[in-house]
Amino acid sequence: MLQKPKLPWFSPTVFVSRCQQVLRALDCNHYHHRVSKDVSKDEHFDDKLRTKKANGECHFQLYKSRGQHLLTSARVLDSIVKKSNIKATDTVLEIGPGTGNLTLKLLEAASKVVAIEIDSRMADALQTRVAECGFEDRLTLIRKDALKTEFPHFDLVVANIPYGISSPLIAKLVFGTRSFRSATLLLQKEFASRLLANPGDSEFNRLAVNVKLVAEVEHVMNVSKRDFFPVPKVDSSVVLIKPKSNIPKVDLKEWCAFTRTCFSKKNKTLGATFKQKKKLSELMRISTLMGMNKETQMFQPSSDISDECEDAEGNSSSSCLEMGVSLFKEKVINILRLSGFEDKRPSKLCVEELLKLLSLFNENRIFFHDKEEDASKTELDTSFDDL
């Protein structure tokens, strides 16, 4: 078989491609960068940075751990802004502006940009660059972790986010404020596929079903890894997330806890999932805490009595618990059987079917969300952080 000859390193094709790569990297960004995997190992670099800046130069160490892959293709940046349908009166929220490649384009299209950046070196560079362009009055820069910051009012989100926070960030957006028109997000391609998956698709999972409850997700375009600097290992996709104006009347925390249980093994039948002793005991504990399950409560040993305690019929506390769990199991399996869900697999169920099952459980006083655990957390900790 004939093999394609390798191009010599000095071939015109290789030379042109190398030049294009370098130009792309410098295209929208006049800063120089070095790449590092770990923030902690390179903290000393901040000092070097200050020195260089004093000399009018700006050198950056880019941290992979913070997802610092800058989007350098003007073509892709322009498409993202165009597809976001920004109005001249809009306030746009940008998570992770970096050195401002996207921010400047957003400032040209919108009335205001609120940018949240965790890395103070990036934030300094962004501020300088925006001032150089005369846009400083229209930028609000928040130097914080976007996951731990309350978002101010905004109309749209447009961002090339650090991929490591995709899931909690989307949860914070779609289950949080919700009063925005849309979020145009650049995500890792595989993550975007999972977000876009439908029941029956191999990628369909809890993330997709949770987001589908409250929002519509559209694929906008794919972006090659070569459009970033430094070039990451993965390709990317842009998606558009639009919060639904009418969402089903359901306690969102109860829903998220319910889908966590159902999708713990997404290809198992619900019958098999709900027969697991550990899951049943946990569910029984939560339902009993809600003070709803009188029939299981009578078999629950109270916490202030010893392990050796006996009930009125002479059963020890551990056997009381066993009996409680088996009674509870019977009840759960009956609900699944009578409603036709026992042999169904979560990976094939749509939002409406799952809502129906949750409402059947709740009508029968079976609950999933541990309100007591939440009571001990702060407002930000209790956000929906694990889609």
Ligand X SMILES: C[S@@+](CC[C@H](N)C(=O)[O-])C[C@H]1O[C@@H](n2cnc3c(N)ncnc32)[C@H](O)[C@@H]1O
Torsion sign across C-alpha atoms 354, 355, 360, 366: positive
380 vs 144: CA distance, rounded Å: 14
Could you tell me the smallest distance in angstroms from the CB atom of residue 51 to ligand X?
21
> Between 120-132 and 101-109, two packed helices, what is the crossing angle to 10 degrees?
40
Compare residues 159 and 280 and give the one whose CB is closer to ligand X.
159
Could you tell me the smallest distance in angstroms from the CB atom of residue 68 to ligand X?
5
| Residue number, nearest CB to ligand X | 96
Could you tell me the smallest distance in angstroms from the CB atom of residue 259 to ligand X?
25
Is residue 15 within 8 A of residue 63, CB to CB? The reply is no
Could you tell me the smallest distance in angstroms from the CB atom of residue 196 to ligand X?
20
Half-sphere CA count of 332, side-chain side, radius 13 A = 28
Compare residues 70 and 213 and give the one whose CB is closer to ligand X.
70
Compare residues 61 and 205 and give the one whose CB is closer to ligand X.
61
Could you tell me the smallest distance in angstroms from the CB atom of residue 236 to ligand X?
9
382 vs 144: CA distance, rounded Å: 19
Choose among 68, 86, 89: nearest CA to 181.
86
Residue 116 Rama label (left phi>0; alpha psi -120 to 50; beta): beta
99 vs 30: CA distance, rounded Å: 9
Q: CB count, 10 Å around CB of 85?
A: 14
Compare residues 80 and 270 and give the one whose CB is closer to ligand X.
80
Could you tell me the smallest distance in angstroms from the CB atom of residue 279 to ligand X?
32
Chain contacts with ligand X (rule: CB under 6 A): 66-71, 95-98, 101-102, 116-119, 122, 145-147, 160, 162, 165
Compare residues 61 and 261 and give the one whose CB is closer to ligand X.
61
Choose among 122, 353, 146, 130: nearest CA to 259.
353
Residue 96 marked in a binding site: yes
- The DSSP output letter for 185 is E
Compare residues 117 and 124 and give the one whose CB is closer to ligand X.
117
Between strands 228-229 and 91-95, the pairing is unpaired
Residue 145 marked in a binding site: yes
Compare residues 169 and 174 and give the one whose CB is closer to ligand X.
169
Compare residues 84 and 287 and give the one whose CB is closer to ligand X.
84
Three-state DSSP class for residue 217: strand
Could you tell me the smallest distance in angstroms from the CB atom of residue 376 to ligand X?
24
Q: CB count, 10 Å around CB of 270?
A: 23
Q: What is the DSSP string of 324-382?
A: HHHHHHHHHHHHHHHTT-TT--GGG--HHHHHHHHHHHHHTT-----HHHHHTS-TTTT
Is residue 274 within 8 A of residue 333, CB to CB? The reply is yes
Could you tell me the smallest distance in angstroms from the CB atom of residue 94 to ligand X?
7
Q: Which residues are annotated as a binding site?
A: 69, 71, 96, 117, 145, 160
Q: Which residues are annotated as a binding site for S-adenosyl-L-methionine?
A: 69, 71, 96, 117, 145, 160
